[in-house]
Amino acid sequence: MRRLLLILVAVCFSFTWVLLPEAQGHEESASVRSGASGELGLNERTGQSIPLDAVFYDEQGNMTTLKQLVNRPVVLSLVYYSCDRICPQLLGATAAITGVLKYVPGKDYSLITISFDPADTPKTARDAKRNYINFLGPSFPEGSWKFLTGTSDNIKRVLDAAGFRIRKENIHGFSHPAALVVLSPKGKIVRYVYPVSDTNFSLPHPLAFQPFDLTLAISDAAKEKTGFSVQRALAYCFPHMPKGQETFFNILKISGAVIVFFVLAFFIYLVSTRKELKGDK
Amino acid sequence: MNSFYADLGPRRGFAAWMLSTDHKRLGIMYLSALLLFFSVGVSLGVLIRLNLISPGTFVQAHNYNRLFTIHGIIMIFLFIIPGIPVSFGNFFLPLLIGARDVAFPRINRLSWWLYLAGAVVVLASLFFGGGPLDTGWTFYAPYSVQTRTNVSMAVLGVFILGFSSILTGLNFITTIHRLRAPGMTWHRMPLFVWTLYATGWVQLLATPTIAISLLLIILERFFGIGFFDPAKGGDPILFEHMFWIYSHPAVYIMVLPAMGIISEVVPVFSRKVIFGYSAVAYSAIAIAAVGYLVWGHHMFTSGMSDTARVVFSFFTFLVAVPSGMKVFNWLGTLYKGSIRLDAPMLHALSFIFLFSIGGLTGLIQSAVATNLNLHSTYWIVAHFHYVMFGGMGFSFLAGLHYWFPKMFGRMYRERPAKIGWLVFFIGFNVLYFSMFILGYNGMPRRYFDYPPQYFTGQLVATIGSWILAAGLIIIFRNLIVAFYKGPKAPDNPWGGSTLEWQVSSPPPHENFGKMPVITRGPYSFE
């Protein structure tokens, strides 16, 4: 018995020791299986660069490369301007968080929003931008947040580099993931920041970013240090069609009912058939 | 009479143990496995804390995710959930109700093998496939479906462990219904048995849900069906619901038997009949029942209607009522009792204190408005460590010190046990209380790194983890020395009045030479 215990102790502790070098050994920047969720999704490409030579138009219609805009930490959002679902919430949350951060936009970091809809023009960009600039008030340096549009080739290069996989929909514009990409001054992706549901006790829930996440991301970006984003359930922008799930829920209901039935039957059996045990004579 | 340690059958040594159907041998084997996994879990926990005083120095970011995941999986699925029922439950349930074994001894052995198989599969997942998983112990979709780490195998291991749990629950329920000694009416059963009974039903009813959800994860990973993938029309929130429909009742699988142990220890060391026997007994059933209806409180921020949030919040407040009843009944038992502060009692009293902190902070979280702010912060981590570790952990140690003489037939030294308790208790509070403060100040859980203003809190917590580990080392060193060299234990060292103290230490084969006939309640100290 004692030997048995000793053996078990030895075996189990060996797990701790084996685990350590094992855990140290696997260092991968992309921890997510590529293509795991098909054509739509987000594969983090932390540590890689976005194409700085890609050409876009700002909201005044001036042609610019990303290299000209990325010279300090950048908070990049990828949306489309005719979106009436999650994109305005995402941009609203981005605008809201700039007021909370201790970093100054235009000095410590800048904001770039790129539309992935080739049909967007500098005019739609201007219209979209006006909302957020009005919200932020006159103290916000307008030039520190660019709303860009571009051709499908350039858009695709940026989306691929950032790991965004989007899909054109019939019902409304695009299905796409919602997240911010934080870039270093050299254009390297240092972290992805995901929105959370706001703590506001009301419906519908607007999205929000945690100041903690963005502070850490910007300070890391300034040091060219890549961070490790906390994986949350991704927020997606997509038309929801719960009809397809009815069968699944029916299966759940039936299996639940079967389990409860058997458990009840077992209880009734136990209670109804008990015989009193007799003591030894 | 021969103790159960003597091999009576044709087999000797290791084989005789592994093939044994004796509930006491199974209990001892479970206990040793649990303690080993516990020590692995603690080592990983200390490593997590070590990283947090200097992120990146000892552990890489991605490995940090793996560390806290494996810490969680080993602690939750291999230690806390099986925990008290399989070890002390197996060993003492038949003794406490005057039976010779459980109702289905061979199914009991099968449970043990399944437990071992599940544990082996979970541990093997660390070495094969994509390596140790990094999803967190909750396996939240869609990340668990997408990560390259070996989720499928780990989840299969947990699936197997679930069957072990279901069979143990089934066995205990049947045993309690069928094998009580003559005169052992429901209201003469020791309270530990009541909690095992309530736990058995939870195991039976809740575990299939997690089995199904984990199966769905495996199907989704291999065949890409898309139950939980929004890109395919699935719903990640569905996984969260299914996961917590099991995992919240699982909290009561962990903590109900822990409360049972406290209900045994407190009367013996106060030399008093337990205050409000029926209230304590029925509150266990009430906790198990209401515990099914509160899972949504893990998901207040996950996208849920306000109505659902208010209902789940209400039920969560409701489940605090029977828990509070138990605490007041233990305090009522202590009142005017003749209290002896031996090691089991010190652990039991710590349980009451720490569990109260855990429970009351739980109420703070169950209010939706505060929950929305505290969700996913260190506050939550502190809360569940107070409930799980402060609750189940201290109760486990109370039980271990209380029943050690009976299980191993040896006495441990009281002084080191008390010193170990004190160090452990101090370390525990330094470690986890600072997490409340960190969380309240906004430190999110599961983060590898943090801004400088959190450093002091993290440092204090890490120092606490060292003190805690030192306490555990003192406690277990004392018990291991006692196991080998302790003086022989008397049959009834604490003056307990339940049936296990009426047999020799360690108990003989088949427990009772002559079946006892019960004529009185479990706690009478004359």
In this predicted model, what pLDDT tens digit does every residue of A102-149 receive, in sequence order?
899 989 999 999 999 998 999 999 999 998 888 888 888 988 999 999
SS3 B488: strand
List the end-to-end C-alpha distance of chain A, in Å, as a whole number.
Answer: 35
Subunit contact B60:A15, Cβ cutoff 8 A? no
Q: Which of A257, A152, A165, A79 is nearest to B231 (CA)?
A: A165
**Stated pTM of the model:** 0.80
Burial class (CB in 10 A: 0-12, 13-18, 19+), A206: middle
pLDDT for B463: 97
- pLDDT single digits (tens) B1-24: 588 998 888 888 899 999 999 999
Q: Which residues of B touch A270 (CB under 8 A)?
A: 173-174, 177-178
- Average pLDDT (B139-152) is 86
Contact criterion met (CB below 8 Å) for A167 and A39: yes
Residue carrying the six token digits 């429901």: B186
Amino acid identity for residue A211 in this structure: P
Burial class (CB in 10 A: 0-12, 13-18, 19+), B42: buried
Subunit contact B450:A255, Cβ cutoff 8 A? no
Q: Which residues of B touch A255 (CB under 8 A)?
A: 208, 212
CA–CA gap between residue B472 and residue B493 (Å, rounded)? 24
- pLDDT single digits (tens) B470-507: 999 999 999 999 999 999 999 999 999 999 999 998 99
Q: Which of A157, A251, A210, A107 is nearest to B227 (CA)?
A: A251
CA–CA gap between residue A85 and residue A71 (Å, rounded)? 31
Selecting from A22, A238, A245 the residue whose C-beta is nearest the C-beta of B131 gives: A22
Which CATH superfamily hosts domain B18-496? Cytochrome c oxidase-like, subunit I domain (1.20.210.10)
Please report, for residues B181, B421, B503, B517, the alpha-carbon distance to residue A278 in angstroms, rounded to integers and kept in the order given: 8, 44, 20, 9
Q: Cα B136 to chain center, whole Å? A: 19
Answer whether residue B416 shows pLDDT above 90.
yes
pLDDT for A278: 67
SS3 B150: coil
| Low-confidence winner among A37-46, B280-289, B409-418, B426-435 (lowest mean pLDDT) | A37-46
Nearest CA in chain B to A28: B62
Answer whether residue A231 shows pLDDT above 60.
no
- With a pLDDT cut of 90, the percent of chain B lying above it is 78
Q: Which of B179, B53, B18, B24 is nearest to B463 (CA)?
A: B53
pLDDT for B198: 95
- The verdict on B441 touching A (C-beta cutoff 8 Å) is no
pLDDT for A245: 66
Please report, for residues B5, B22, B223, the alpha-carbon distance to residue B508 in angstroms, rounded to integers and kept in the order given: 8, 11, 53
Burial class (CB in 10 A: 0-12, 13-18, 19+), B31: buried
- Average pLDDT (A45-54) is 90
Mean pLDDT for all residues in chain A: 78
Burial B377-405 (b: 16+ CB within 10 A, else e): bbbbbbbbbbbbbbbbbbbbbbbbbbbbb
Q: Cα A80 to chain center, whole Å? A: 17
pLDDT for A37: 46
pLDDT band for position B524 (cuts 50, 70, 90): confident
pLDDT for A237: 66
Contact criterion met (CB below 8 Å) for B193 and B96: yes
Answer whether residue A232 shows pLDDT above 60.
no
Taking the CA atoms of residue B143, residue B145, residue B151 and residue B156 in that order, the dihedral angle to the nearest 10 degrees is 130
Mean pLDDT for all residues in chain B: 93
- pLDDT single digits (tens) A55-104: 999 999 999 999 999 999 999 999 999 887 788 888 888 888 888 888 99
Q: Which residues of A touch B70 (CB under 8 A)?
A: 19, 23
Answer whether residue B275 shows pLDDT above 80.
yes
Q: Which residues of A touch B409 (CB under 8 A)?
A: none
Selecting from B47, B231, B443 the residue whose C-beta is nearest the C-beta of A38 gives: B231
Selecting from B43, B142, B450 the residue whose C-beta is nearest the C-beta of A37 gives: B142
Selecting from B63, B173, B369 the residue whose C-beta is nearest the C-beta of A23 gives: B63
| Low-confidence winner among A168-172, A231-235, B305-309, B509-513 (lowest mean pLDDT) | A231-235
Nearest CA in chain B to A199: B372
Subunit contact A277:B515, Cβ cutoff 8 A? yes
Taking the CA atoms of residue A84, residue A87, residue A92 and residue A93 in that order, the dihedral angle to the nearest 10 degrees is 140
CA–CA gap between residue A214 and residue A217 (Å, rounded)? 5
Window B:309-328, CB contacts with A under 8 Å:
none
- pLDDT single digits (tens) B328-386: 999 999 999 999 999 999 999 999 999 999 999 999 999 998 998 898 899 999 999 99
Burial class (CB in 10 A: 0-12, 13-18, 19+), B18: middle
Phi, psi (deg, nearest 5) at residue A189: -80, 115
pLDDT for A100: 84
Answer whether residue B429 shows pLDDT above 60.
yes
CA distance A68 to chain B (A): 30
Selecting from A31, A216, A280 the residue whose C-beta is nearest the C-beta of B147 gives: A31
Subunit contact B231:A39, Cβ cutoff 8 A? yes
